[in-house]
Amino acid sequence: ATPMALMVGTGRGAQLGILIKGPEVLENTRRVDTVVLDKTGTVTTGRMALVRTVAADGEDETEVLRLAGALESSSEHPVARAIAAGAREQGALPEPEDFANTAGLGVRGTVAGRTVLVGRPALLEEAGQHLPEELSTAMKEAHGEGRTAVAVGWDGRARGVLVVSDTVKPTSAEAVRAFRDLGLTPVLLTGDNESAARAVADEVGIERVVAEVLPRDKVDEVRRLQAEGRTVAMVGDGVNDAAALAQADLGLSMGTGTDAAIEAGDLTLVRGDLRAAADAVRLSRRTLATIK
Ligand code: ADP
Ligand code: MG
């Protein structure tokens, strides 16, 4: 490929809403045969909404949502935004203190003098807070609906469950079809629960799903696919996707995503439209074919 032709390809990319870090990226784009997709914020809008609050026996729903919402006000995670917004609807929220985030698990901090945890049940269990049966049931019900659910606990006990919903982007199914037409295998990779992941995968037409993956393990999934001899593109938007984006043969970040993801990627989909990822592959093949 001559540098001139690659530059032309780069310019055309900009018109399609694709920012390419350097002309050499097109060569990797052309070789891709597998596309790993993050779920939240990549295939879905990531604009989650609170569906319901479930309190453990003897606990108060309003209080569960108030303390969780106050703590989540300090987090940028889509789940956190939904919970904070839902909580603000029922009234003003106290200021959290000592906020700490465990990527892919949840958050911890002090709210109104209480030590509050919000996140995956594993986060609460690590702190010795086991979910009583009514909360486990509430989690399972949410999963059955293909929804995301997190647990809330404070002062040593699990106290509630919050259920949030996300929406698949209207362009995602078309993008997955375009990947297949280009001969690419799509894989959905997420930290969320298996059923929520499956529901999204079914809606957009993805067969291969890897769920309940911790952020630090996302990069291992990419390595595993590479070890199978695949040339892997990873598409993501979150801080938790940055290492996987860097490990992939081609990292595509959502322009609507976090700075960490954008920095880690080779290519940015400016409008956060997944179809542009297929456009990028098509463009690279065409550009490089012209030269040969
Ligand atoms: P994804 O791979 O879909 O982008 P993440 O790895 O960011 O998901 O998160 C995985 C799971 O960790 C979420 O579905 C949620 O259960 C939990 N989680 C992460 N951050 C938070 C938070 N701020 N509050 C509550 N739960 C969280
Ligand atoms: Mg994401």
pTM value?
0.89
Looking at the DSSP bridge assignments, the partners of residue 36 are 187, 234
Q: Whose CA is nearest to atom 26 of ligand 1?
A: 119
Query: What Cα–Cα distance (Å) separates residue 250 from each residue in 93, 165, 185, 222, 244?
Result: 42, 30, 14, 11, 10
Looking at the fold, whether 116 and 59 belong to one and the same domain comes out as: yes
Neighbours of 99 (CB within 10 A): 17
| Contact (CB, 8 A) for 124 and 138 | no
Looking at the fold, whether 287 and 174 belong to one and the same domain comes out as: yes
Domain count, the chain: 2
Predicted ipTM beyond 0.85: yes
Q: How confident is the model at residue 24, as a pLDDT?
A: 81
Looking at the fold, whether 60 and 150 belong to one and the same domain comes out as: yes
Q: Is 38 labeled as catalytic in the residue annotation? A: yes
- The CATH number that applies at residue 152 is 3.40.1110.10
What is the whole-number distance in angstroms between the Cα of residue 37 and the centre of ligand 2? 9
Residue of 240, 257, 264, 254 lying closest to 105 (CA atoms): 240
C-alpha 47/C-alpha 168 separation (Å) is: 10
Residue of 137, 41, 43, 123 lying closest to 81 (CA atoms): 41
Around ion ligand 2, residues with a beta carbon closer than 5 Å are: 38, 40-41, 237-238
| Contact (CB, 8 A) for 279 and 19 | no
The token pair that represents 111 in the structure block: 């709210």
Looking at the DSSP bridge assignments, the partners of residue 208 are 187
Looking at the fold, whether 229 and 156 belong to one and the same domain comes out as: no
Give the residue, out of 71, 120, 194, with the most ligand 1 atoms within 8 A of its beta carbon, to mutate for a pocket test.
120
pLDDT averaged over consecutive 10-residue blocks of the chain (292 residues)? Answer: 60 82 83 96 95 98 98 94 97 95 94 97 96 98 94 97 96 98 97 94 97 92 97 93 95 93 93 94 81 58
Plot region of 15 (φ>0 → left; ψ -120 to 50 → alpha; else → beta): alpha
- The CATH number that applies at residue 285 is 3.40.50.1000
Q: How confident is the model at residue 283, as a pLDDT?
A: 86
Residues within a 6 A CB radius of ligand 1? 38-40, 72, 75, 77, 79-80, 104-107, 118-120, 148, 150, 190-192, 215, 238, 240
| Contact (CB, 8 A) for 152 and 80 | no
Q: Pick from 165, 200, 225: which residue ends a domain? A: 165
What is the whole-number distance in angstroms between the Cα of residue 14 and the centre of ligand 2? 24
C-alpha 23/C-alpha 7 separation (Å) is: 6
Looking at the DSSP bridge assignments, the partners of residue 100 are 108
Q: How confident is the model at residue 217, as a pLDDT?
A: 93
Looking at the fold, whether 206 and 254 belong to one and the same domain comes out as: yes
Instruction: Name the residue range of residue 237's domain.
Output: 3-45+168-291
